[in-house]
Chains A and B, each alone.
Chain A
Amino acid sequence: MGDYTSSELVSIFAMQGFAGISLFSVLLLMALGLAIIFGQMGVINMAHGEFMAVGAYTTYFMSSLTETYFPSFMPYYFIFAIVVAFFVAGVLGYLAEFALIRHLYKRPLDTLLATWGLSLIMQQSFRTLFGAREVSPTLPEWLLGSYQPTETIDIPLNGMFVLALTAIVTLGVFYLLYKSSWGLRVRATTQNRVMSGAVGINTKKVDRYTFALGCGIAGIAGAAFTTIASTGPTTGTLYIVDTFMVVVFGGAASLIGTIVSAFSIAQAQSILEFFISGSMAKVYTLFALVLILMFKPEGLFASKVRR
Chain B
Amino acid sequence: MRLAGVILIAMVAGFLMWATRDLPLRGDPQSPASTHVSVYYIENALVDSKTPNMVTAVLADYRGFDTFGEAVVVVAAALSCLLILLRRRDDEGVVDDPDERRHAMGRGDP
A binds B: no
Question: B residues touching A (Cβ–Cβ < 8 Å)?
Answer: none
**Taking beta carbons and an 8 Å cutoff, which residues of A are in contact with B?**
none
